[in-house]
Amino acid sequence: MVNWYEKYLSIYGIPFGDVPQDIVNGTHDRLAALQSDVPIVSIVVIAYNEEKHLQACLWALSEIKCKYPVEIIGVDNDSQDRTSEIFEKSGIPYYTEYQHSCGYARRCGLQHAKGKYYFDVDSDTLYPPMYYELMLEQLMKPDVVAVSATWTYFPDANHSKLGLRLYEICRDLFLWIQHFKRPELSVRGLVFAYDAELGKKEGYRVDIIRGEDGSMALSLKKYGKIVFVRDRRCKAVTGYGTIGEQSLLNSFLDHVKFNAKVLGVFFTRPTIMLILMIIWLNNI
């Protein structure tokens, strides 16, 4: 079975000059058709030197299925490649943030967002067509202030499909258990959306290099629930930037070690083992 993202991989990782013009033009026209003057949702794409990934991200974004009015805006974090040119040719409004960090870029996008709800989008990530609508329907529920989802990685020669699958089962299980008492620790910026008014009230931290989204989630938690969405139709797909040079196993173990006290405080060992067994059987 062909994965939904296969066609976008045809240009993912290649220079913008090698992208067929019909893809650039088609993306422009579909994005223009999606834009609303009175959006409920602001979809904000941040990018820093993402020439080889941004066009694929925007192509996938142009083909979303969402019954709610949206606006799509971009933030170029003062890139030195052709990132700003890609934004320009996509036709979406975009802004340049000259202070470098995801926190500054996300803050810039939030300041310009007109929608009631704000969606983080990373430009090296592809989102399935129903992602925004399904996430929004969870976010619009009473007492919910934010939602976060799961994500997967592009298969490549260095990572086996089985290894990726096992890694994701363990990681997603850990995040799911953790979210019951400490949902902000399960938030990742590439799959995060929240109430924009509350977000503007709290603001992004820009004094840290990473973790600005978890910090935002922590600030929002006092206003209501943060929902962890496990629907596979909301699972984004991305590169290995969140892992860096680590192996999948070491990346997972580092997260477990860092947050291990959460499980021990809130769950007994038999409960943890029972949850592990249930989720494992549900995923194999």
What's the pTM? 0.85
**pLDDT score at 98:** 97
What are the pLDDT digits (tens) for 125-151?
Answer: 999 999 999 999 999 999 999 999 999
Which residues have CB under 8 Å from 200's CB, separation 6+? 110, 111
User: What are the boundaries of each domain within the chain?
Assistant: 6-160+177-244
Class of domain 6-160+177-244: alpha beta
Residue-level pLDDT at 169: 83
The pLDDT assigned to 282 comes to: 42
Whose CA is closest to 121, among 54, 201, 24?
Answer: 54
Q: Which parts of the chain register pLDDT below 50?
A: 255, 258-259, 262-263, 265-266, 275, 278-284
Distance CA 57, CA 130 (A): 15
The whole-number pLDDT of residue 181 equals 87
The whole-number pLDDT of residue 80 equals 97
